[in-house]
């Protein structure tokens, strides 16, 4: 294990925890619009790095079922787009979001069991550096909460945002 690979895996785990926290916030209600806006941006950012870099890196290192994770991500982004179209105030939003949250939780757990240990143990330093740099770059698309001016993230359509971020990751870092 290299420190760089451990750091890259840790950055992904931290995003997983943040996604899980936002799923809970949207489920509970409260400031549902703001939480959903942040979730859309975070998921688009997180999955763009995984699709562009992480799955291929762990696949090269011997991970199995990489295609299944890619398939799940496409499904999740599709449902996220449907939720975005529905809007948080729609009467069907809560029920649909509950199913989505369960799907996301299973996806994150599968990655943590099947991919992240391989990333930690076997990823090349070059792959790990690329992943860490891409995470840092896409994080700039996710406004953090509690900024001095109180600005909160605006909700963005998930699929165009995801495509834009994949392009940014590919352009900024290049594929291996």
* Separation of first and last alpha carbons in the chain: 20
- Give the footprint of Fe ion on residues 131-150 (CB under 5 A): none
Which region among 3-11, 45-53, 150-158, 161-169 touches Fe ion (by CB under 5 A)? 45-53
With CA atoms as reference, report the closest residue to 165 among 146, 139, 145, 143.
Answer: 139
CB of 110 vs Fe ion, minimal distance in Å: 9
Q: Based on the shown chain and the rule CB under 5 A, indicate whether residue 115 belongs to the binding site for Fe ion.
A: no
**127 touches Fe ion (CB under 5 A):** no
Under DSSP, the state recorded for 65 is: -
Residue 126 to residue 4: CA distance in whole angstroms: 9
The CA distance from 27 to 162, in Å, is 23
Considering only 34, 38, 50, 127, the residue that binds Fe ion (CB under 5 A) is 50
Residue 111, interface with Fe ion (CB under 5 A)? yes
CB of 157 to Fe ion, least distance (A): 19
Binding mask 63-82 for Fe ion (x = CB under 5 A): ----------x---------
Contact 77, 50 (CB under 8 A): no
Q: Which CB, 38 or 111, lies closer to Fe ion?
A: 111
Per the CB < 8 A criterion, the answer to whether 158 and 44 are in contact is yes
| Cα–Cα distance measured from residue 84 to residue 165, given in angstroms and rounded to the nearest whole number | 18
Cβ proximity to Fe ion: between 86 and 103 the closer is: 103
Count of residues that bind Fe ion according to CB under 5 A? 3
Residues making contact with Fe ion (CB under 5 A): 50, 73, 111
């Amino acid at each position: 294990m290299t420190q760089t690979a451990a750091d890259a895996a840790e950055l992904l785990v931290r995003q997983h925890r943040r996604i899980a926290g936002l799923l809970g916030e949207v489920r509970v209600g409260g400031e549902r619009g703001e939480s959903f806006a942040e979730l859309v941006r975070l998921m688009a950012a997180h999955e763009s790095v995984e699709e562009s870099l992480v799955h291929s890196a762990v696949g090269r290192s011997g991970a199995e079922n990489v295609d299944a994770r890619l398939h799940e991500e496409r499904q999740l982004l599709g449902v996220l787009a449907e939720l975005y179209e529905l809007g948080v105030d729609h009467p069907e939003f809560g029920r649909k979001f509950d199913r989505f949250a369960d799907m996301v939780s299973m996806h994150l757990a599968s990655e943590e069991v099947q991919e992240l240990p391989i990333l930690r143990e076997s990823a090349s330093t070059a792959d790990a550096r690329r992943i860490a740099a891409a995470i840092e770059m896409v994080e700039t698309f996710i406004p953090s909460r509690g900024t001095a001016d109180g600005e909160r993230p605006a909700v963005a359509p998930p699929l165009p945002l995801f495509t834009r971020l994949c392009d940014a990751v590919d352009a900024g870092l290049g594929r291996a």
